[in-house]
C-alpha cells in the first residue's frame, strides 16, 4: 500500500494540483449552473436582487483569484486567453469606447467582470489533468445540476415553476425553470446539458451520459422553450453535416448567422422582408423583438463607430426617459435580444468586427486544424455543438458577454477548447499515471 511518505515531492505536488483543479472545476461549474442564490422569488419587486448581485460579484472575485493562482503554476499558462493580441486589441477598444461613454464607471465595471469571466473560461479547461477526468467531472457536475433542478420542481415548486402570481410574466405559469430565473434560460441550459451528456456517453460513461441526456430532455420539454426545443435536433443535425462535409462549414456558420439576422432584424427595418416572413407563417415581430431592434437601429445610425459604451445604452436614463422620437415600450428592454446588434450598438463597428473575428471566424480555422490532429474527435464535437448553438442563438438573444450566463461561459470555453484541440495534445489517463 502506498503511503504519503513514499510519494516524492513532485508526485505529491501533482496529486495536490489535480485535487485542487477538480475542486475549482466543480466550484466554477456550480457558480454558473446552480448559482449562489438559486430559485429566485419572482413574485416580489425585481429590484430586490441587489443582495444576490453582491454575493455573485464577491463569489466571482474569490473564484477568479483562485483560478489565477492555479494558472500561475500550470505548465499550460501560456495558452490562457489566446489569441492574446486579438483579445488585447478587443478589450482595449472596449475600454476606449467605455471611457468616452456617458457612464464610464459603470461600463468599466462591466468590462472588468467580463474580462475575469473570459480568463476563467480559459483556465477552466486546464483544471482536469486528462480528458478522462474532464469527462468524469463534467458528468458528475451536470448530474448534480440536474438533481438541484428536479429537487426544486418537486419540493420547491413555487420557486422552480413559473407562477401566476409573478410580477412580470404571469402567463408563464406552469412552465419549469428550476433554479434559474426564467424558463427560456433553463431551456437553453438543458440543451447544453444534452451536449454534455452525449459527450460523456461517448467517453464510455454510458449510464451517466444516458441519464444526463434523458433528464435534460424531459426538463427541456417542460420548460415550454419552443426555440430551444427546436434548436436541439437542429444543432445536432447541423453539427453532423458540419463535421462530415468540410465545404459546408462556412455556409453553415457564417451563412446561417447572416441569413437569420437578415430575416429577423430585416423584419424590423424592411416592409418587404417583413411581408415575406409573414407569408411563411412566421411571426414577423419575433415576439415583439422588432420594436427593440428599431430603437437599436436608430441609435446605431447616430453613433456607428464608437457606440454607447460596453454594455450600456439599454436601461440608461437617456433611453428610458428620452421621449421625443423614442415612444415605444421597447425603451424599457434590458437588452437588444440580439448579441451582434448589441455589440454593434455598444462598441461600434470596430467592436463588432473584432468580436466576429474572435467568436466566429477563428473557430472555423481551429476546427479545420483540429480535425487534422490525433486529438479525440468526441471532444472537438462537443465544442462544435456548443459553439454552433451559441453563435446561432446569439441572433435572437443577447448571449455575448453576459457574465453570469452559463450559456456564455459554455460558448467561451468551447472557443478556447477548439483552439486547444487545434494546437495542443491532451494527456491520456495512462500517461498521467506513468508521469505520477
Model confidence pLDDT, tens digit, residues 334-369: 777 899 999 999 999 999 999 999 999 999 999 999
Look at the chain and report how many structural domains it folds into: 1
Q: What is the pLDDT of residue 50?
A: 44
- Is residue 151 a part of any domain in this protein? no
- Is residue 280 a part of any domain in this protein? yes
- Is residue 325 a part of any domain in this protein? yes
- Is residue 348 a part of any domain in this protein? yes
- Is residue 60 a part of any domain in this protein? no
- Is residue 276 a part of any domain in this protein? yes
Q: What is the pLDDT of residue 372?
A: 87
**What are the angstrom distances between the C-alpha of 131 and each of 113, 181, 380, 426?**
29, 32, 12, 7
Q: What is the pLDDT of residues 185-195, one digit of tens each?
A: 999 999 999 99
- Is residue 178 a part of any domain in this protein? no
Task: Supply 82's cell numbers.
Answer: 489566446
| d(C-alpha 37, C-alpha 53), whole Å | 9
- Domain limits at 301? 225-436
Q: What is the pLDDT of residue 349?
A: 96
- Is residue 408 a part of any domain in this protein? yes
pLDDT tens per residue, the chain (436 residues)?
233 333 333 443 444 457 888 999 999 999 999 988 899 888 765 444 444 577 888 888 899 999 988 888 877 778 888 899 999 999 999 999 999 998 999 999 999 999 999 999 999 998 988 899 999 999 999 999 999 999 999 999 999 999 988 877 888 899 999 999 989 999 999 999 999 999 999 999 999 999 999 999 999 999 998 889 999 999 999 999 999 999 999 999 999 999 999 988 888 878 888 888 887 777 666 767 778 888 888 889 899 999 999 998 887 765 654 544 444 555 566 777 899 999 999 999 999 999 999 999 999 999 999 988 888 999 999 999 999 999 999 998 889 999 889 999 999 999 999 999 998 765 555 555 444 4
pTM of model > 0.85: yes
Amino acid at each position: 500500500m502506498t503511503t504519503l511518505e513514499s510519494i516524492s515531492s513532485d508526485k505529491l505536488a501533482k496529486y495536490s494540483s489535480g485535487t485542487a483543479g477538480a475542486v475549482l472545476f466543480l466550484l466554477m461549474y456550480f457558480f454558473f449552473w446552480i448559482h449562489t442564490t438559486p430559485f429566485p422569488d419572482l413574485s416580489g419587486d425585481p429590484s430586490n436582487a441587489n443582495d444576490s448581485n453582491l454575493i455573485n460579484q464577491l463569489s466571482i472575485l474569490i473564484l477568479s483569484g483562485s483560478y489565477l493562482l492555479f494558472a500561475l503554476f500550470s505548465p499550460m499558462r501560456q495558452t490562457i486567453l489566446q489569441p492574446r493580441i486579438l483579445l488585447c486589441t478587443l478589450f482595449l477598444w472596449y475600454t476606449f469606447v467605455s471611457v468616452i461613454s456617458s457612464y464610464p464607471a459603470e461600463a468599466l465595471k462591466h468590462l472588468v467582470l467580463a474580462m475575469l469571466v473570459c480568463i476563467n473560461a480559459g483556465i477552466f479547461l486546464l483544471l482536469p489533468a486528462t480528458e478522462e477526468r474532464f469527462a468524469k467531472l463534467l458528468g458528475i457536475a451536470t448530474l448534480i445540476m440536474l438533481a438541484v433542478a428536479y429537487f426544486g420542481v418537486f419540493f420547491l415548486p413555487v420557486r422552480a415553476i413559473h407562477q401566476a402570481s409573478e410580477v412580470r410574466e404571469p402567463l408563464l405559469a406552469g412552465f419549469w425553470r428550476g433554479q434559474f430565473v426564467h424558463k427560456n434560460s433553463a431551456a437553453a441550459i438543458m440543451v447544453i446539458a444534452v451536449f454534455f451528456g452525449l459527450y460523456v456517453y461517448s467517453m464510455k460513461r454510458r449510464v451517466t451520459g444516458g441519464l444526463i441526456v434523458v433528464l435534460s430532455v424531459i426538463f427541456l420539454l417542460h420548460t415550454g422553450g419552443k426555440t430551444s426545443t427546436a434548436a436541439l435536433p437542429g444543432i445536432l443535425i447541423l453539427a453532423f453535416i458540419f463535421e462530415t462535409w468540410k465545404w459546408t462549414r462556412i455556409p453553415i456558420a457564417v451563412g446561417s448567422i447572416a441569413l437569420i439576422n437578415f430575416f429577423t432584424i430585416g423584419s424590423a427595418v424592411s416592409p418587404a422582408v417583413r411581408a415575406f416572413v409573414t407569408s411563411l407563417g412566421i411571426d414577423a415581430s419575433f415576439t415583439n423583438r422588432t420594436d427593440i431592434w428599431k430603437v437599436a437601429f436608430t441609435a446605431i445610425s447616430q453613433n456607428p463607430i464608437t457606440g454607447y459604451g460596453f454594455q450600456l445604452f439599454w436601461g440608461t436614463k437617456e433611453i428610458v426617459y428620452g421621449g421625443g422620437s423614442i415612444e415605444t415600450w421597447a425603451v424599457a428592454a434590458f437588452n437588444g435580444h440580439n448579441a451582434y446588434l448589441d455589440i454593434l450598438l455598444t462598441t461600434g463597428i470596430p467592436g463588432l468586427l473584432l468580436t466576429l473575428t474572435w467568436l466566429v471566424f477563428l473557430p472555423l480555422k481551429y476546427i479545420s486544424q483540429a480535425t487534422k490532429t490525433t486529438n479525440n474527435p468526441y471532444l472537438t464535437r462537443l465544442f462544435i455543438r456548443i459553439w454552433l448553438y451559441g453563435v446561432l442563438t446569439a441572433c435572437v438573444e443577447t448571449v455575448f458577454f453576459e457574465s453570469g450566463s452559463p450559456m456564455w461561459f459554455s460558448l467561451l470555453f468551447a472557443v478556447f477548447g477548439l483552439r486547444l484541440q487545434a494546437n495542443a495534445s491532451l494527456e491520456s489517463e495512462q500517461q498521467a499515471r506513468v508521469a505520477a
